[in-house]
């Protein structure tokens, strides 16, 4: 049985009651105070990139002081937004490369998937024969970091795309060069007095996005797998009920698995567990919020307490000894909120420093000591709990997660007929799609946003898709919404159409496959590339679409741009501040199709959004004659 959004909301209400007792603020109250939002900001027509402004475009004032029109302003804002996202994801990837550079056989960071390391090295033309695996790791980490500032050429990973896609990127001059260069170039182009031509701004937005998806994010995913293991199907649980009242609860939040992996490692240490018992707890429970939760769920089965808009709820349970964060999507609200409870809010990265936090600087070189200190701090905080404030909503769902591309291909091998099918390919999946047993696939990704009733769009759209025999691959907070609702339980096959249900039974999979965190949308790109190569089709011909119905972050726009630029139509439920310019909106929703064979659709009505995705998938099928 699925957990409904109404049940999520009732649980939240109860937690907010606890919050009221201690004078806690919450996003629900702040959102109410911030609405209605500024119309100029919403439409993207406000410019404050030089000190002659701010200028805002109205019918009476159609140009800024420099003469820039609304299309230039909206386009520049869009490009800056993209650059923010590309920088953020890519810097995460760089951190992972750095962690790999620090890997040592004696730990704390080891090479857990040497095979994958060798595979990537061969792809990049690096000699692997007779090399010590750690020497190779350091060499590849160095090369990985060099991708950010390479002087000539384009990103190494682009060669993974089908020939046709690579040709498009070359032809349209959007093949990303050095990752840092694309981010810098975007900020340069959107400086006062540079580009105001919509085509140029949107073209660079695609290129910066590609430097993320096929550059920084892909490095983040691939080298995380090398370090921490490539995910394979694993059982876990999701929703706030995964926290355990009798245990020391440590919640990891953020994105970089370098931190969360170490916390999990030390929370599992018998010495630490014994210490927790000494302090009056029964044990230690690590659970997660946001993408770092996805990382450790995929590799270790660590339960997922919640997604983006649940981060405050974790503290509101009164049972969180420490919420340990690294980078991205962390509410600064956690500082003051944790002060209302006994919770320690621990920041660890120079990239994400916040007031009202305990800052324990986390370093790849000293990771072991840092993680131990944090776990110890949480244990010692157990005695400070206020029992009268403890309330953990009794709701959780089972979930099977861990569907890397490697795991999907392996699962497909299990259902393939070894007499006729080629093993180690996506062909069995293609056969299901061709025969119509599965109509297509939707990549559901992205955040929560108070502008959309949280989680509803994710869950309702997924239910609608699977009922129509469309399989879902999910990542980020969308994946967590699915897991919390119960859509990653294999029993969710009962909600599928007959075709997809049969596939779920045969392959022993849930209808919604968890592919990881948001950087792992690069996995989805690789899957799409493999499907295209195995079928001999172009990516844009596949009955596959992307969807971010509740997105909120700059990263999400960067992702959208690389998904579209890879040839996959992308459906958004929130407008990316471009409604103020018909030219920019037209380019994103139609014009870019002439360049990259895909475009955006923005539709705030969830039902219509779902219908539009199904229609697009069916159109693609008709065009293929299947
Ligand atoms: O990178 S889905 S709220 S947690 S931005 Fe953030 Fe959005 Fe969640 Fe992960 Ni992605
Ligand atoms: Fe105004 Fe032009 Fe300066 Fe923007 S760049 S603030 S539109 S003068």
Report how far residue 614's alpha carbon sits from residue 89's, in angstroms, rounded to the nearest whole number: 30
If you average pLDDT over residues 464-482, what whole number do you get?
98
Q: pLDDT at position 418, please?
A: 65
pLDDT at 614 over 70: yes
408-423 confidence digits (pLDDT tens): 999 999 887 766 677 8
User: In the numeric block, which tokens belong to residue 146?
Assistant: 């060099």
Cβ 116 vs Cβ 225: under 8 Å: yes
Element housing 624 (H / E): helix 606-624
Residue 66 CA to residue 552 CA, distance in Å, equals 30
Sign of CA dihedral 599, 604, 609, 612: negative
pLDDT value of residue 107: 86
Per residue in 210-235, pLDDT (tens digit) is 999 999 999 999 999 999 999 999 99
- Residue nearest to ligand 2 atom 3, measured at CA: 50
Write the pLDDT tens digit of every residue in 575-587: 999 999 999 999 9
Pair of tokens at residue 193: 């007095």
Alpha carbons within 13 A on the beta-carbon side of 546: 31
pLDDT tens-digit profile of 379-403? Answer: 999 999 999 999 999 999 999 999 9
**Three-class secondary structure assignment of 418-478:** CCCCCCCCCHHHHHHHHHCCCCEEEEECCCCCCCCCCCHHHHHHHHHHHHCCEEEEEEHHH
Q: What is the pLDDT of residues 124-165, one digit of tens each?
A: 999 999 999 999 999 999 999 999 999 999 999 999 999 999
Share of the chain above pLDDT 90, in %: 98
Q: Is the CB of 65 under 6 A from ligand 2?
A: yes
pLDDT at site 423: 86
CB distance 64 to ligand 2 below 6 Å: yes
Where are the chain's structural domains? 55-228, 240-389, 404-624
- Bridge partners (DSSP) of residue 324 are 252, 346
DSSP state letter for 326? -
- For residues 505 and 421, the model is more confident at 505
Q: Which residue has the higher pLDDT, 366 or 416?
A: 366
pLDDT digits (tens, 9 = 90+) for 260-272: 999 999 999 999 9
Is the CB–ligand 1 distance for residue 208 below 6 Å? no
The mean pLDDT value for 592-602 works out to 98
Radius of gyration over every alpha carbon of the chain, rounded to an integer in angstroms = 24
The domain defined by 404-624 folds into Rossmann fold (3.40.50)
- 55-228 CATH choice from 1.10.10.350, 1.20.1580.10, 1.20.1530.20, 1.20.1270.30: 1.20.1270.30
Q: Give mean pLDDT, residues 62-66.
A: 98
Percent of the residues in the chain that have a pLDDT greater than 70, as a whole number: 99
pLDDT tens sequence across 165-178: 999 999 999 999 99
Residue 553 Cα: closest atom of ligand 1: 5
Q: How many CB atoms lie within 10 A of CB 18?
A: 20
pLDDT of residue 419: 66
Q: How far does the centroid of ligand 1 lie from the alpha carbon of residue 476, in Å?
A: 6
- Please tell me if the CB atom of residue 53 comes closer than 6 angstroms to any atom of ligand 2: yes
Pocket test for ligand 1, best of 217, 521, 555, 576 (most atoms within 8 A of CB): 555
Best residue for ligand 2 mutational test, from 44, 52, 581 (most atoms within 8 Å of Cβ): 52
Query: What backbone phi and psi angles, to 5 degrees, belong to 284?
Result: -125, 130
Nearest ligand to residue 289 Cα: 1
CB 546 less than 6 A from any atom of ligand 1:
no
| CATH fold of 240-389 | Rossmann fold (3.40.50)
At residue 256, φ and ψ (nearest 5 deg) are -90, 115
Residue 455's φ and ψ, nearest 5 degrees, are 75, -20
Spell out the residues 6+ positions from residue 560 whose beta carbon is closer than 8 angstroms to its own: 209, 546, 548, 551, 570, 572, 576, 600
Distance of alpha carbon 62 from alpha carbon 260, whole angstroms: 50
Q: Is the CB of 294 under 6 A from ligand 1?
A: no
Name 253's bridge partners.
Answer: 289, 325
Q: What is the pLDDT of residue 71?
A: 98
Q: Which residues contact 352 (CB under 8 A, 6 or more apart)?
A: 254, 325, 326, 327, 328, 330
Fold match between 240-389 and 404-624?
Answer: yes
């Amino acid at each position: 049985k699925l957990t409904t959004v109404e049940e999520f909301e009732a649980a939240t209400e109860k937690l907010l009651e606890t919050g009221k007792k201690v004078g806690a603020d919450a996003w629900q109250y702040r959102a109410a105070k911030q609405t209605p939002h500024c119309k100029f900001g919403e439409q993207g027509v406000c410019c404050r990139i030089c000190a002659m402004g701010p200028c805002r475009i109205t019918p009476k004032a159609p140009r800024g002081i420099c003469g820039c029109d609304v299309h230039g302003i909206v386009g520049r804002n869009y490009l800056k937004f993209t650059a923010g996202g590309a920088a953020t994801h890519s810097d995460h990837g760089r951190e992972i490369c750095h962690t790999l550079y620090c890997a040592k056989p004696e730990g704390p960071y080891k090479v857990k998937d040497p095979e994958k390391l060798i595979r990537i090295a061969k792809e990049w033309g690096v000699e692997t024969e007779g090399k010590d695996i750690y020497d190779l790791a350091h060499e590849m980490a160095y090369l990985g970091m060099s991708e950010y500032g390479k002087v000539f050429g384009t990103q190494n990973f682009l060669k993974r795309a089908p020939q046709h896609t690579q040709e498009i990127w070359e032809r349209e001059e959007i093949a990303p060069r050095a990752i840092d260069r694309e981010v810098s170039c975007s900020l340069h182009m959107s400086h006062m007095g540079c580009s105001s031509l919509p085509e140029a701004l949107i073209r660079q937005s695609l290129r910066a996005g590609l430097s993320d998806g096929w550059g920084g994010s892909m490095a983040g995913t691939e080298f995380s797998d090398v370090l921490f293991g490539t995910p394979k199907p694993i059982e876990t649980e999701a929703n706030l009920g995964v926290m355990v009242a009798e245990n020391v609860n440590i919640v990891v939040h953020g994105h970089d698995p370098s931190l969360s992996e170490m916390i999990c490692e030390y929370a599992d240490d018998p010495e630490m567990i014994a210490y927790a018992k000494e302090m009056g707890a029964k044990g230690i429970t690590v659970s997660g919020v946001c993408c770092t939760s996805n990382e450790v769920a995929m590799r270790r089965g660590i339960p997922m307490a919640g997604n983006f808009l649940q981060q405050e709820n974790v503290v509101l349970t009164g049972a969180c000894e420490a919420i340990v964060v690294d980078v991205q999507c962390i509410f600064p609200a956690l500082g003051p909120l944790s002060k209302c409870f006994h919770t320690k809010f621990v920041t660890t990265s120079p990239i994400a420093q916040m007031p009202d936090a305990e800052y324990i600087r986390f370093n790849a070189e000293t990771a072991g000591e840092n993680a131990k200190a944090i776990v110890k701090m949480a244990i010692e905080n157990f005695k400070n709990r206020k029992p009268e404030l403890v309330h953990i909503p009794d709701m959780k769902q089972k979930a099977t997660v861990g569907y890397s591309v490697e795991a999907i291909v392996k699962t497909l091998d299990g259902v393939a007929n070894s007499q006729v099918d080629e093993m180690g390919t996506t062909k069995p999946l293609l056969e299901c799609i061709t025969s119509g047993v599965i109509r297509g696939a939707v990549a559901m990704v992205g955040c929560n946003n108070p502008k959309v009733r949280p989680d509803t769009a994710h869950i309702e759209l997924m239910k609608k898709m699977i009922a129509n025999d469309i399989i879902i691959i999910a990542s980020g907070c969308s994946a967590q919404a699915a897991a919390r609702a119960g859509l990653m339980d294999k029993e969710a096959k009962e909600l599928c159409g007959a075709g997809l249900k049969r596939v779920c039974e045969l392959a022993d999979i849930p209808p919604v496959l968890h592919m990881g965190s948001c950087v792992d949308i690069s996995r989805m790109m690789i899957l799409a590339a493999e499907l295209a190569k195995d079928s001999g089709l172009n990516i844009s011909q596949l009955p596959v679409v992307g969807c971010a119905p509740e997105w909120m972050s700059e990263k999400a726009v960067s992702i959208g741009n690389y998904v579209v630029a890879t040839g996959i139509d992308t459906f958004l439920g929130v407008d990316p501040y471009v409604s103020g310019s018909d030219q920019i909106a037209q380019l994103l929703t139609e014009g870019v199709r002439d360049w990259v064979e895909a475009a955006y659709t923005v539709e705030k009505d969830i039902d219509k959004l779902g219908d539009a995705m199904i229609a697009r998938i069916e159109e693609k099928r008709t065009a293929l004659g299947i």
